[in-house]
Amino acid sequence: MAPGSPLGRAASSLGRDSDSDSVKEGHAHNQRVDDHDATVNVAWKDLTVTATRIKRPLLNSVTGKITTGYYAIMGPSGSGKSTLLNTLALRLDRNMSVSGELKLNGQDYSNAELKKISGYVMQDDLLNAHLTVEETLGYTAELRMPRTTTVEERRARVKEVMEQVGLTHVSAVIVGSPLRKGISGGERKRLCVAMELLTKPLLLFLDEPTSGLDSVTALSLCKLLKRLATGRTCTVVCTIHQPQAKIFNLFDHLLLLNRGTIMYQGPAPQALGFFDRSGFPCPLHENPADHFMDVITPNMNDSVESLVEKEAKLKEHYQAPPVEHLLGTPKPLVLPRDSTPWHKQFRVLLRRSIKETWRKRDTTYVLLIQTALMAVLIGTVFLRIGTDQKSAVRRNPVLFFTVINQGMFGALIVINSFPSERMLSLRERAAGTYHVSAYYLAKSVAETVSQLPAPIIFSCIVYFLVGFQPDASKFFIYMGFMVLCSTAATSLALAVSAIARTTDMAVTILPMALEICRLFGGFFLSPANLPNYFKWLDALSYVKYSYIGISLNELTGLKLHCTPAQLNAAGKCPITSGEQTIKSLGLDYISMNDCAGILISYIIICRIIAYLGVRFLKN
């Protein structure tokens, strides 16, 4: 495909970030239109799609069109059904090359333009498990419906769509997950369709909508799609493997594929006559879809020669539909949907994230109980260490252990934060729902707020049980460093999880990163004894800056005394102030303010890395 060709330009847009494309403003044709006045025609000619890695064509010079009605793309596994659907919807992976002509209303179209007039329902039901049906539709309406829509209009549209797809009776039921019961599989699929219908799309693409559903639920869903197409609400295009006869009878048009080639395209009721003329009549009382699949799909009893002969007979009677008039007559592309401003996306996503976090509050409660328990244990082990010479030996270990404790808990809490929602966020971004920056910032703020109480409670318990300096300013500085330490560890975990992309990989990499931070945390190797070749690792440890910060805070101004038994041979007290410990360990090479500033920079850098991982790593 030539880089400068119209289709090349359209296909190249697939590699760009879908969410940033979808929110570009100022298109001259953005306006609300009546569904019955706006129709779309999609036509393609000599369309070839090749997987660049394996150099194998997935679609081989196919020609066809989609006008109005209910379209079914059928074929055996590997025939190219999903490839054709994703090509038309401009959702192919980056490792696919495309050549041929592809037009929407006679003109080239981009991914951003298509998303404003179409909807896409993926095969997997990716939804927010902790939101109810009505909440899911409500947030989607706020993010995707035109900005001029009022609150009352959005609520009315949500209720209208729930009635349309038959979800009113479960409006207050959470979506659920494998670990928490919610709505049924059929209701989940209907909810996915309802989310796309909110914006009144002119084109609705569905990838295997009946996959995983029982026959009754699948038929009910297909009847819903038939009503949408019959009422000219939108043109429906779906891939389907082998539907039952009742479902097949609902289709207006059929595209039958095998090995990347269209074997039949035309009205679904006329497909039986086509196979009859080709020498493959359908037996009485047999499901037409089963018969078509039996003819074009190789089985153990078919030789290569017989399969080639079958395909030759079908191709002999098949004629590709004329598409020149659809390719060469541009029709104004009316875009009924505009974009939602970034600040509104952030506010909506922040409310959604806070609600999800609140619904998962059991985890937060466990964290707080665990934090309080560990604080009591640490505080009682080092209870009232005092200011004698023994305390000089025990004070630095307890300071270091508090840093390690807060960092470990903070990191483990969020390790599954982005990987668990990765596919969901990719689906929402592909639909043009929001900017990835708005999603990332909203989710980060919501999770950070929910995690702040843990280091605060920990500080309140540990500081007074251990008996650090009874000074209000030193207590709040200590608490501030505990918050920074916990947030830094959380930020490091977010960066690892975003780059690793899966929870399994993240939990493999994160322990090594935490162990390195602990080893070079300033306690096992003090700054005064650190070899030059380890300084770069030492500089990357958030533990070091947290430990040195609270050490400087605690040791500065600390006065120590001796019991008679603790005097040295000269009759003097070995350590009389915390400043002596600071100098002996070399902790004075950096100030407390610098430690706080570096930790804040560390948090920002790690979160930028996490954002880049979420933004650009899509596979």
In angstroms, the CA 125 to CA 136 distance is 13
Beta bridge partners, 99, equal 48
Residue among 424, 361, 440 nearest 177 (CA): 424
Final residue in a domain of this structure, among 269, 287, 319: 319
- List the CATH number of the domain containing 287: 3.40.50.300
In a domain, 471, yes or no: yes
Q: Are 391 and 385 in contact (CB under 8 A)?
A: yes
The answer on pLDDT for 347 being more than 70 is yes
Same domain, 212 and 347: no
Q: Which residue has the tokens 């990163």?
A: 513
Final residue in a domain of this structure, among 286, 319, 352: 319
Same domain, 440 and 575: yes
In a domain, 291, yes or no: yes
What pLDDT, on a 0 to 100 scale, did the predictor assign at position 3?
A: 41
**CA angle at residue 558 from 552 to 561, to 5 degrees?**
140
**Residue 391 identity (one-letter amino acid):** S
Same domain, 268 and 311: yes
Q: What is the pLDDT of residues 410-458, one digit of tens each?
A: 788 788 888 878 888 888 888 888 999 999 999 999 999 998 999 999 9
Q: Are 546 and 567 in contact (CB under 8 A)?
A: no
Radius of gyration of the chain (CA): 32
Same domain, 458 and 592: yes
What percent of the chain shows pLDDT beyond 70?
A: 90
In a domain, 165, yes or no: no
Q: What is the pLDDT of residues 35-72, one digit of tens each?
A: 344 578 899 999 999 988 777 889 999 999 998 899 99
What pLDDT, on a 0 to 100 scale, did the predictor assign at position 438?
A: 94
Same domain, 397 and 497: yes
Assign residue 315 a region (left: φ > 0; alpha: ψ between -120 and 50; beta: otherwise).
Answer: alpha
In a domain, 171, yes or no: no
In angstroms, the CA 73 to CA 219 distance is 17
Return all residues near 600 (Cβ < 8 A) that are at least 6 apart: 484
Same domain, 216 and 96: yes
Assign residue 206 a region (left: φ > 0; alpha: ψ between -120 and 50; beta: otherwise).
Answer: beta
Same domain, 406 and 281: no
> Pick the residue with more confidence: 246 or 503?
246
Q: Domain range spanning residue 400? A: 342-616
Same domain, 280 and 351: no
In a domain, 142, yes or no: no
Average pLDDT over residues 82-101: 90
In angstroms, the CA 511 to CA 404 distance is 13
The 10 Å Cβ neighbour count of residue 98 is 23
Same domain, 312 and 419: no
Mean pLDDT of the residues in the chain: 85
DSSP string of 442-508? HHHHHHHHHHTHHHHHHHHHHHHHHT----HHHHHHHHHHHHHHHHHHHHHHHHHHHHH-SHHHHHH
Same domain, 303 and 383: no
Confidence of residue 278 (pLDDT cuts 50, 70, 90): confident
User: Number of structural domains, the chain?
Assistant: 2
**251 token code pair:** 């289709």
In a domain, 194, yes or no: no
Same domain, 313 and 346: no
In a domain, 251, yes or no: yes
Sign of CA dihedral 19, 24, 25, 28: negative
In angstroms, the CA 527 to CA 539 distance is 11
In a domain, 188, yes or no: no
Pairing of strands 203-207, 235-240: parallel
Same domain, 403 and 291: no
Pairing of strands 96-104, 235-240: unpaired
> Is pTM beyond 0.75 here?
yes
> Pick the residue with more confidence: 56 or 254?
254
**19 token code pair:** 């969410």
Final residue in a domain of this structure, among 319, 354, 370: 319
